Amino acid sequence: MSEEQTKNLEDQFEARIARDEKIEPKDWMPEKYRQTHIRQMSQHAHSEIVGMLPEGNWITRAPSLRRKVALLAKVQDEAGHGLYLYSATETLGISREEMYEQLHTGKAKYSSIFNYPTITWADMGAIGWLVDGAAIINQVPLCNTSYGPYARAMIRVCKEESFHQRQGYEIMMKLANGTTEQREMAQDALNRWWWPSLMMLGPTDAESVHTEQSMKWKLKRKSNDDLRQQFIDQTVPQADLIGLTIPDPDLKWNEERGSYDFGEIDWDEFWQVVKGHGPMNKERMKARVGAWERGEWVRDAAMAHAEKKQEQKEKQAV
């Protein structure tokens, strides 16, 4: 294809997206569009899968059957979300094995929030309330993104996420209204998860390298800073309501802006965790890779069984 033809195709492609048309797997697309989507969608899938680990940690120790079934269902949902997203990413021509390989070798990233430890039961509350809350803010705009399979997967994901956030908030509410120890446990969880949750909305606009192109492709509809402000404005009153304190001395309602002003985020910490030096990076990958390797004989046995059955069926047919 000549350069001019490619340019022509690219212009037509951008025009389609500008008209809000969806792009489907077999449609022509610029290589950069394909690669950007593979990167973002697979990272998103990896985050769902790794995200099961910090919560899975508490399933056996949930304080009641009601909490246990809810947490189990939530973790199962994360597995489901990972699977929707992996299969949507496969439509772009990358195999599941390649994606796993990228995750396991550290070539692909996942959300840094999962590199923090879950040390008390209140962390299950804080994760559902804050982490899923921030995830929803990130994800809702993606239901309208330009790549059809991604948008469809996100619609399913968003429908299911709201239960996650509510179950988390309910846990926090219960603890916040409980004994002194329980209240302190809830406050401690909020203290530890607040800042990492704000970081989930991504680097500041000035630092964000992907924003402009991603806006054009509708992979992003609002900037990181706008999303972060939205998250803070919606979450602060929820903390007030259950009598917990946001761990930010600079947090203050700004009448003029109709929004909360907030303190400086420790971006050094953010980049440290992204680069693999968070408290749980090694542990998470060890658990993930270990699970994959220990499952290998099961996957192989299932395949061998399927092949044997197929052969028997063919023999009988003769």
Residue 72 exposed, middle or buried by CB count within 10 Å (0-12, 13-18, 19+): middle
Tell whether residue 15 is a contact of other proteins (CB under 8 A): no
Q: d(Cα 186, Cα 172) in Å, to the nearest integer?
A: 6
Site for other proteins, residues 62 to 121, rule: CB under 8 A: 73, 76-77, 80, 83-84, 87-88, 90, 95-97, 101
Q: For other proteins, give the closer residue by CB, 8 or 310.
A: 310
Closest-CA residue to 241 (of 164, 309, 173, 149): 173
Element (H, E) at 181: helix 180-199
The least distance separating other proteins from the CB of residue 80, rounded to whole angstroms, comes to 5
Q: Would you list the DSSP string of 19-64? A: TTPPB-TTS---HHHHHHHHHHHHHHHHHHHHTHHHHHTTGGG-SS
| 131 contacts 193 by C-beta, under 8 angstroms | yes
The least distance separating other proteins from the CB of residue 138, rounded to whole angstroms, comes to 21
Tell whether residue 305 is a contact of other proteins (CB under 8 A): yes
Tell whether residue 18 is a contact of other proteins (CB under 8 A): no
Site for other proteins, residues 27 to 56, rule: CB under 8 A: 27-28
| 79 contacts 52 by C-beta, under 8 angstroms | yes
**In the Cβ-directed half-sphere of 15, how many Cα atoms lie within 13 Å?**
6
The least distance separating other proteins from the CB of residue 314, rounded to whole angstroms, comes to 14
Q: For other proteins, give the closer residue by CB, 97 or 181.
A: 97
Q: d(Cα 231, Cα 133) in Å, to the nearest integer?
A: 8
Q: For other proteins, give the closer residue by CB, 27 or 240.
A: 27
Tell whether residue 240 is a contact of other proteins (CB under 8 A): no
Tell whether residue 302 is a contact of other proteins (CB under 8 A): yes
- Positions touching other proteins (CB under 8 A) are 24, 26-28, 73, 76-77, 80, 83-84, 87-88, 90, 95-97, 101, 152-153, 156, 160, 296, 299-300, 302-307, 309-310
